[in-house]
Structure 1
Amino acid sequence: MNVIKTAEIARALYHAHGDKAELEAAQRERTSKEAGNHDEAQRWRTIRGSIRQLRGANQS
């Protein structure tokens, strides 16, 4: 999956789920991994990282 497509998916998830988008991506990653689809799990891991960048740094 190319960088642009990853960013588009990350933005769409973040727009749809807000701060819970990262959790959604993590759940999809886990489901893919449990199903034995490691390539898809890696894509969701990359999307999750993109969502984390969109959210910005955590504040304390």
Structure 2
Amino acid sequence: MNTMQITQHANALYRVHGDRAEAEAAQMVRQCQTEGKQEQADNWQAIRQAVRAKRGPNAS
């Protein structure tokens, strides 16, 4: 998955799930790893990182 696709997936996930988008992506990472789908897990991890960057820093 290229950078543009990752960004598009992250934006779509954030639109649908809002602040839960990162948790949803993390769940997909775990699911793919459990199923032995490492390439998909890596893609979901990249999406998770893109969602985190979009969200910005946590408030203190």
Give the TM-score of the pair, scaled to structure 1: 0.98
Note the C-alpha offset of 1:11: 0.2
Equivalence for 1:58 = 58
Aligned ranges 1:24-39 → 2 under 5 Å: 24-39=24-39
Runs of 4+ that moved beyond 2 A = none
Equivalence for 1:13 = 13
Equivalence for 1:41 = 41
Identity of aligned residues (%): 43
* Equivalent-residue separation in structure 2 for 1:39 and 1:5 (angstroms): 15
State the Cα deviation string for residues 19-49 of structure 1 (Å, max 9, x = none).
0000000000100000000010000000000
Note the C-alpha offset of 1:12: 0.2
Note the C-alpha offset of 1:9: 0.2
Q: Which segments of 5 or more consecutive residues in structure 1 lack a partner in the other structure?
A: none
* Equivalent-residue separation in structure 2 for 1:27 and 1:20 (angstroms): 11
Count of residues in Structure 1 that have an aligned counterpart in Structure 2: 60
Q: Which segments of 5 or more consecutive residues in structure 2 lack a partner in the other structure?
A: none
For 2:15, the aligned partner's letter is: H
